[in-house]
Structure 1
Amino acid sequence: MNPEKHAYSRLHIWWLAIRPKTLPAALSAVIVACALTAHDGVFRLGPALAAMLVALLLQIGSNFANDVFDFERGVDTAERKGPLRVTQAGLLTPDAVKRGMKLVFSAALALWCYLAWTSSWLMLLLGVVAILAALAYTGGPYPFGEHGLGDPVAFLFFGPVAVAGTYYVQVLHISASAWWMSIPVGLLITAILVVNNLRDRVTDAAAGRKTLAVRFGAAWARREYLACLTGAYALLPFLILSGLLPWTAMLSWASLVLAWPTWRVVRDNEGTVLNEALAGTGRVGLAYSLCFAAGLMLA
């Protein structure tokens, strides 16, 4: 029995497993998509709320899956420099975390049934694919997170799929602005994964994980992080000049006050200090989306 377990209540342990600091970033795509539908005059509250809950549940389910599968594969050890993982710490058994994961994904699938009923059956298929992708990140016979595929998959599902999907369930079509705005959202979410892989590259390499940070090194990972941030902010002026967005969408640049110090932490530090940048990048993504929504409201 882990003596540390007695320091936590059961509810607090599950709260740690949820990883609440990761949840705001999961909402970024929904905020951007809903801001666009409101600006286009086609916002629908029911599907929007369901999409928001699905985003949160998918993030929580992914966190549970990563927690238990990384432990079972020997990736999470006592040498890990990231925030506490409940399975590795002995606070929850693998079976308990898997039951929680199944419950969360079942709830997400039920909400996807509602979204399919209000829009298209293809949304249900998309939901199944998204859940399988969340499981396959660290689980299954070929965990793509261990083979350098985590970054593009994170970009795809947290960017284009999430933004375009949230827009579609409200309108039953996808506007050009929704497609284009899915790119900065996906880039900022991918940046969170880049920090995670930069911090863990030594222990990942020892465990046989071949993330991009392991394959190409720390300097390359920092350049990838900077490219994600730069791309997210640089795209906005082009979308405004092309007429897809109002000029007030530039309010998103206000989030640079968070992005710059976070980039400096990533640029200059190693190890556990990068946990600060991990949470900071999540705040950047949320602030970017909120400022974007405010800009469209001003329009």
Structure 2
Amino acid sequence: MLSIPASRPNAYSGSPLDRASNRREDAAFIEAALADAETLFVPVWRSRSLMKGVPEGAPEAVLLTGAAAEAVRMAGGPWAFLGFWEGRPVFAVDCSQAEDPLPLLPEGMGAFTDLRAVAGLLPPGEASVLAHARGLMHWRTRHRFCGVCGAGCEPRSAGNAMACTNCGTQHFPRTDPAVIMLVVREGRCLLGHSTRFPNSVMYSTLAGFVEPGETLEEAVRREVKEEAGIDVGEVLYHSSQPWPFPASIMLGFHAEGLSDEITIDPEELRDARWFTVEQMRNPEAHGFALPRGDSIARRLIEDWLAEAGPAGTRR
């Protein structure tokens, strides 16, 4: 089985930020940065990001400064220091408590948009920063209470940690590791049609969360066996992708299929099939669709196809 390197960075990767974690405990710096008119703020409203140019198909992130930033902060939601972008401090701020935050901003500032809908069109650095802000604000708005004793928590480390006001336990943002794998065998690849997309014709790579005490390779083999009944041999790492929808890191692999007969888990999949290279290169003609372009699933498929011969003979 050939190793297939990643052909290019995945969406939401390649952050331009210096996270400057050493400045998070510097209260004087944080206070000054929050008051600085040149500081950048990344607003998040109900998991959506502020952008302009979306209707024209040329989206770009809108970061706030000065009075516009202060107006959004007055909505009373959580905030957090993200780092420096070209020397300027950057904060995420959640304004979800406002029923409509746009009236708080000057006209022409764009609209709040689902990041996943346009990530493939955004400059890579902007997509990464918006994903960072979205993921961190999701954690902040959903971890207000201590998981140990149930008491309320207060932000620490410039919004990058929470501390229990009763027992003192510190809580940090969680990222759930998930494996995602393209299983290949004799010039074919295995794709599944998820129960989560009943009205779609999309077939995608299999995926699942890593369980406690499990290596990534073991997780790949277990998930493929559980979902499709296929035995897996060699497992080769491809690349990773931040996936803050809501709080995951996708760890991508190519995996060697050792068996042919598919037995699906009906709770996870509506269908699973082996697809030839020809079918994969012309999915519409064969009645199915591939995963969206900003996903690591699509990257795993594209890089495999790039390495495959005309009939998939190389793999």
Higher helix share: 1
TM-score, normalising length: structure 1: 0.30
TM-score, normalising length: structure 2: 0.29
Higher strand share: 2
